[in-house]
Amino acid sequence: MDQPKQKLLVMETMPAIKIGFCQLMQRDVDEINDYIDTNSHRLNDLSYSLVGQIKQNPKSAQYEFNLDDPVPQKMGNLFAQLAKEYADNHPLSPEIRNNIGPIEDYHVKKMWSVHSYAGDYNPLHEHGTVSGRGVSMIVFLKVPPQIAELEPSYLENNKGEKGHKTNLQHGNSGATDGVTQFVWDAYSMYDVPRFKHSPFANVYPQVGKICVFPIWLLHQVSPFYGEGERRTMSCNVDIINHV
Amino acid sequence: MSKFVEPFSPTIMETKVSEQFIDTVNAVGNDVLSSDTKSIQYDWSHKLVGKVSKEIQIPIPKGEDRQHVLSTMRNGCVEYLNYIIDKNRAYDWYKKSGREKRPTVKNIKIDSSWIVSQYSGEYNPAHHHNGDFSAVIYLKIPPKMQSELDVEFKDHYPANGLIEFMYGENCDMRSDTIKYKPEVGTMLIFPSYLKHFVYPFYSEGERRSMSFNASIVI
Q: Residue A3 above 90 pLDDT?
A: no
* Residue in B46, B51, B191 nearest the CB of A222: B51
Position B133 pLDDT exceeds 90: yes
CB proximity under 8 Å: A 58-117 to B: none
- N-to-C CA span, chain B: 42
Mutant choice from A124, A147, A154, A203 vs B, greatest count of B C-beta within 10 A: A124
Structure-model confidence comparison of residues A223 and B175, the more confident one: A223
> What's the rounded mean pLDDT across residues A20-44?
97
Residues in chain A: 243
Residue A66's φ and ψ, nearest 5 degrees, are: -85, 110
Q: From CA B167, how far away is CA A122, in angstroms rounded?
A: 18
pLDDT grade for A164, boundaries at 50, 70 and 90: very low
Note whether B169 and A184 are within 8 A (CB): yes
What are phi and psi for residue A203, nearest 5 degrees? -105, 115
Closest CA to A200 of A191, A209, A12: A191
Confidence grade of residue A211 (pLDDT, cut at 50, 70, 90): very high
Residues of B in Cβ contact (< 8 Å) with A123: 157, 159, 164, 197, 199
With bands split at pLDDT 50, 70 and 90, how would you rate the model's confidence at A157? low
Say which of B47, B159, B167 has its CB closest to residue A53: B159
Show residues of chain A in contact with B47, CB under 8 Å: 170
Question: What pLDDT is attached to residue A168?
Answer: 58
Across A6-11, average pLDDT: 90
CB pairs under 8 A between A and B: 102
Cα gap B1→B210, rounded to integer Å: 45
Q: Could B125 and A220 be called an inter-chain contact, meaning their C-beta atoms sit closer than 8 Å?
A: yes
Question: What's the pLDDT at A228?
Answer: 97
- Taking CB atoms and an 8 Å limit, are A185 and B177 in contact across chains? no
Report residue A1's pLDDT band, with 50, 70 and 90 as the boundaries: low
CA contacts within 13 A on the Cβ side of A99: 7
- pLDDT higher than 90, residue A143: yes
- Strands (DSSP E) contained in chain A are 20-23, 44-45, 61-64, 106-116, 122-125, 134-142, 180-183, 200-203, 209-214, 218-221, 230-239
Among the listed ranges A8-17, A61-70, B46-55, B193-202, which one has the minimum average pLDDT value? B46-55
Query: With an 8 Å Cβ cutoff, are A51 and B159 in contact?
Result: yes
Rg (CA), chain B: 18
Separation of alpha carbons A241 and A130, rounded Å: 10
Q: Is the dihedral of CA A95, A100, A101, A103 positive or negative?
A: negative
A184 neighbors A16 (Cβ within 8 angstroms) = yes
Sort out which chain B residues have CB atoms less than 8 A from A223's CB and list them.
Answer: 121, 123, 200
Q: Does B109 touch chain A (CB under 8 A)?
A: no
pLDDT for residue A112 is more than 90: yes
- Tell whether the model's pLDDT for residue A166 goes beyond 60: no
Higher pLDDT, B44 or A136: A136
For chain A, give the longest Cα–Cα distance. Answer: 76
Smallest CA–CA distance from B161 into chain A, residue:
A123
Cβ-defined contact of B121 to A119 (cutoff 8 Å): yes
The sign of the dihedral angle between the CA atoms of A81, A83, A88, A93 is negative
Rounded Cα gap, residues B2 and A169, in angstroms: 48
Which phi and psi (to 5°) does residue A137 adopt?
-140, 150
Q: Which residue of B has its CA nearest to A179?
A: B125
Tens of pLDDT, residues B73-113 = 999 999 999 999 999 999 999 999 999 999 999 999 999 99
Q: What is the mean pLDDT of chain B?
A: 93
Nearest to B185 by CA among B20, B13, B12: B20
- For the segment A148-162, the average pLDDT, to the nearest whole number, is 67
In order, the DSSP letters of B6-58 are --SS---EEEE--HHHHHHHHHHHHHHHT-HHHHHHTB-GGG---B-SEEEE-
Confidence class for position A13, pLDDT limits 50, 70, 90? confident
- For B96, the enclosing helix (H) or strand (E) is helix B91-97
